[in-house]
Structure 1
């Protein structure tokens, strides 16, 4: 009986480990990407926001790179003339990019900046997400706010969101990484907690089944279950390799990771 009991315990322990999610590294670019902060996958292309200067400085050094989803760098500086670009969202043939106190609008066909949407009072615009009906939401990490942009007109949407960073619109809800809190705001702006992120939150991406992937800038990638459980899938903090605002291809289950001061973009398959 004792042997059978021991066998069952071992079997259960193995089963629990086997069910955990993990990341399998696929590729990583050379260290030639100029301080990548955010990655947005679109088809077989990755758009990568490059700070390449002061992370909050109006210095004109920022831009956007283009990398194929197989890791081949197509254009290290596809777009010039930004400051410290961070989160991005695609609406039609336009790319919307958070850039300190404005949202830059880029024509994808030409790579030209066609408009800059000024957000009055903003100081640290960080992430951008778009809802199913084309409404944009932008976080301001320095002012603890979230802005709503409709028809290129920004209005204040949420306040007192300390440490607000990553955003993702899913159906009628807005998921928000705010300090160590991962929360959900419904269409009536009621905020409810989802999970606690041990090292804070940066990028957030829905899996499609109610679960999320979240990153902490210092080098952590988490799997966040709908029931609030948080599992650490990757920890590169000992190597001082950052994990900033990720992109996720749900169909291929591939996570694209900008390593910020690591100056690379890497790809992992979620298993």
Structure 2
């Protein structure tokens, strides 16, 4: 009976905590942003970096760029970076911004606002998201090839293959986390995977950790999920058929999501409660 009572208590506690996760809209940017795909929250600068495809997501056309928003959604600089192709996921390491751009990783000095490197990734087709570990090793996903590439000292190599529809990436402590279609994977240094959660209605796009050990996941087709540390999945938002919810930025301290709407040409901020 004691074991049963303890189990029930733990279950009720878990469900009570889990039920507290909900979203409310704070603001939507008013200025048109041409096909925003990813948002990166940069607390030190009190800014949001927003990657803009401005056209076909796989076209090498030089139309893409990165805009800057203030934290209230107002436009700070619409043309901060120009001349990219179809930029998607971004990651910041010290003063260098790494951007996935079809078949290369673009490196930008955020102090000067200059592109300082364009690293071709051999064998890549559709680079999508980027993350960097504490030693500066860069990981980038190729969704169409089902591969994760690695850049050490700006030299690319294949890190892992057979990761179906891989998109969102985040290094959390000493592990790489990846959205592999509708599954969240945890990958160690020896490339062993653990499936943390599965069963999302769509393939995951953005991936951000929360301070309680959980994760926020967006799916491009219009879904946002909260995944608890134990792998339990809760749907937070379903706007399928109305909005896209692409690669989000996240202010973990204040629990604010910054979600690019892709074809609706805006960024929406949501409060996680």
4+ runs deviating over 4 angstroms: 15-18
Provide the residue aligned with 1:137 in structure 2.
139
Matched with 1:77 is 79
Q: Distance in 1 between matches of 2:240 and 2:51?
A: 22
What residue in structure 1 maps to residue 36 of structure 2?
Answer: 36
Partner residue, 1:242: 244
Q: Give me the whole-angstrom Cα distance separating, in 1, the residues matched to 2:166 and 2:89.
A: 13
Q: Is residue 94–residue 108 contact of structure 1 (8 Å, CA) maintained in 2?
A: yes
User: What is residue 21 of structure 1 aligned with on the other side?
Assistant: 21
Could you state the TM-score of these two structures normalised by the residue count of structure 1? 0.92
Contact preservation (8 Å) 1:31, 1:262: no
Q: 1:192 to 1:26 in 2, by over 3 A?
A: same
What is the SS of the residue equivalent to 1:161? coil
* 2:97–2:107 Cα contact (<8 Å) kept: yes
After TM superposition, give the deviation of residue 112 of structure 1 in Å: 1.4
Contact 1:204 1:214 (C-alpha < 8 Å) held by counterparts: yes
Alignment-derived partner of residue 203 in structure 1: 206
The answer to whether structure 1 residue 158 and structure 2 residue 154 are counterparts is: no
Unaligned 5+ residue runs, structure 1?
Answer: 1-11
The 2-side partners of 1:264 and 1:156 are apart by: 34
CA shift for structure 1 position 17: 9.7
Q: Please tell me whether residue 212 in structure 1 is matched to residue 224 in structure 2.
A: no
How many Å separate the matches in 1 of 2:202 and 2:233? Answer: 11
Matched residue SS, 1:126: strand
Deviations 1:157-201 (A, max 9, x none): 010111000000001111110111111101211011011122220
Distance 1:212 1:249 in 2: 12
Partner residue in 2 for 1:266 = 268
Partner of 1:232: 235
Q: May I ask how many residue pairs the two structures share in their alignment?
A: 257
CA distance in 2, matches of 1:111, 1:16: 46
Moved more, 100-109 or 15-24: 15-24
> Which residue of structure 2 lines up, in the alignment, with residue 97 of structure 1?
99
Note the C-alpha offset of 1:150: 1.3
| Residue ranges of structure 2 left out of the alignment (5+ in a row) | 1-11
Secondary structure, aligned partner of 1:132: coil
Q: Secondary structure at the match of 1:237?
A: coil
CA distance in 2, matches of 1:186, 1:33: 37
Contact 1:206 1:213 in 2 (8 A): yes
Secondary structure of the equivalent of 1:46? Answer: strand
Q: Quick one: distance in 2 between partners of 1:236 and 1:209?
A: 26
- Does residue 194 (structure 1) correspond to residue 196 (structure 2)? The answer is yes
Give yes or no for contact 2:18–2:228 (8 Å, CA) kept in 1: no
Q: Could you say what the CA RMSD is over the residues aligned between the two structures, in angstroms?
A: 1.5
Q: Render the CA deviation track for 1:200-228: whole Å, top value 9, x for unaligned.
A: 20000000332100011011100001111
Using the size of structure 2 for normalisation, the TM-score is 0.91
